[in-house]
Amino acid sequence: MEILLSVGLILGLVLLALIAVKRIKDFILNQKLAKVDAEIAIHKEQAMEEVSEWVKREKERLQRQFEAEMDEKRSAAVAEIEAWSPEEKKRLSIRYLKDYEDELTKLRQKLDARMDSELDYIRKIFTEFSAEEKKLAEEDIKRFIMKKLTQSEVE
């Protein structure tokens, strides 16, 4: 029986030792995983900074390229306009002046039509007001005459 107790005790100790070893391995593994996670976070942050810097440089490069292209196009347009003959410049000036005058005429016509419409509306209001005033004046005169007639009948 003592042997069984000793064997049971030994098995219990071995089991405890195995559990302790497993916990130690888990602890060490968790530490290693935390260290790897920290290293990954550092590398990720460095990569994000590198990408941000690259994007910033690329944006600046594209902006300079765009500005250079716009300067070239602007210069080409100015050179093209300067190369126009005086007759072409005069023809285009007349054409655009004509277009401007046509558009101005259309706008004036719209304005005239709108003003006529507003004036007609105002005339209508005054006409209605005048008719009401006339009607009220007629009623006042009738009342006044009726009052005078009733007073003269009473006397």
Q: What is the pTM of this model?
A: 0.37
Query: Would the pLDDT of 125 be above 70?
Result: yes
CA dist., res. 30 & res. 25, Å (int): 8
What is the rounded (10 degree) CA torsion for 72, 76, 79, 85? Answer: -170
The per-residue pLDDT for range 44-97, each reduced to its tens digit, is 899 899 988 999 999 999 999 999 999 999 999 888 888 888 888 888 888 889
The CA-atom distances, in angstroms, between 104 and each of 78, 111, 117, 153 are 28, 10, 20, 72
Please calculate the CA angle 97-98-104 and round it to the nearest 5 degrees. 90
